[in-house]
Amino acid sequence: MVVMPVVTRHLIDRGDGATVELFQAQAASETPAGAILFVHGNQGGRLLGGIEAVDSGALLRFCSGLNITAAAVSQPGFGASDGPPDFCGPKTQQAIIAALAFLRGQPSVDPNRIVLYGNSRGAVASAMVATQVPDLRAVILSSGVYDLEVAYHESSDGLRWAIEKEAGLSREAFLARSALRYAPEVRSETLLLHGKHDDRAPVAQAERFSKALSNAGVLATLHLFECGHQIPRNHMQRALRPFLQRVFNPVVTYH
């Protein structure tokens, strides 16, 4: 009899008294297995947070297919995580770090096999977290920007407004959200996924960050796709499947 994993919801402390919402699907394994933490993107202003990965079926697909723990965190100001949002800044990074610590403390999780997976806005913050958390098994970054000041000047009016409102335009604000500036601090293998025709996050951002990581001695792989900001799932899986098989080394039924 196959027991399907159940998704549970957790409210954890960010470390400063603020609440961070996390959803988790736990693998049925007798020994500690790997884990993956999803960090969502902008979500079209709906502010759903981590439940997006639950509703799309992603948590259960990754959990059951890879026999790992799959989790999704809500950024500040999204879902039930305390805000306000700070456009991938220190509070968002702190929330992700708290979620990683929560996973690391689970008996079902092998702390040496935790993967961080950020999409779009989530990739910006996850890349910064990777500069601060050296023991991640791997980092997956999809459709992100890694030099926010450059991206700001190339952005649409709507995105520029969001950056101005949530982060401000000081040099310190841009640096706190620009992982390209801290590439030598990254220690984890990194997979970058990016659309060649992305109109929100120019492909040059991923190319420059990939090169900077490689120059710093990080194992970095960049996959480019013939698409815009949203990478079709069937395209993405061709890059994700072999990467995750190698990282988690499971008996793979993921599709």
What are the DSSP E strand ranges found in 94-204? 109-119, 138-142, 189-195
Average pLDDT, integer, range 16-36: 92
Mean pLDDT of the chain: 94
Q: What's the pLDDT tens digit per position in 35-54?
A: 999 999 998 778 999 999 99
pLDDT at 179: 98
pLDDT band for position 29 (50/70/90)? confident
Residue with token string 């981590």 = 50
Q: How far apart are CA 95 and CA 54, in angstroms?
A: 19
Q: What's the pLDDT tens digit per position in 133-189?
A: 999 999 999 999 999 999 999 988 989 999 999 999 999 999 999 999 999 999 999
Beta bridge partners of 69: 35
Does the pLDDT value for residue 127 go beyond 70? yes
Q: How far apart are CA 162 and CA 186, in angstroms?
A: 27
CB 94, CB 64: distance < 8 Å: no
CB 22, CB 102: distance < 8 Å: yes
User: Which segment of 21-25, 128-132, 134-138, 154-158 scores lowest on mean pLDDT?
Assistant: 154-158
Does the pLDDT value for residue 10 go beyond 70? yes
Please work out, in degrees rounded to the nearest 5, the angle formed at the alpha carbon of residue 49 by the alpha carbons of 160 and 105: 120
Q: Residue 132 — left, alpha, or beta (φ > 0 → left; ψ -120 to 50 → alpha)?
A: alpha
The tokens describing 196, both together, are 């060649």
CB 20, CB 75: distance < 8 Å: no
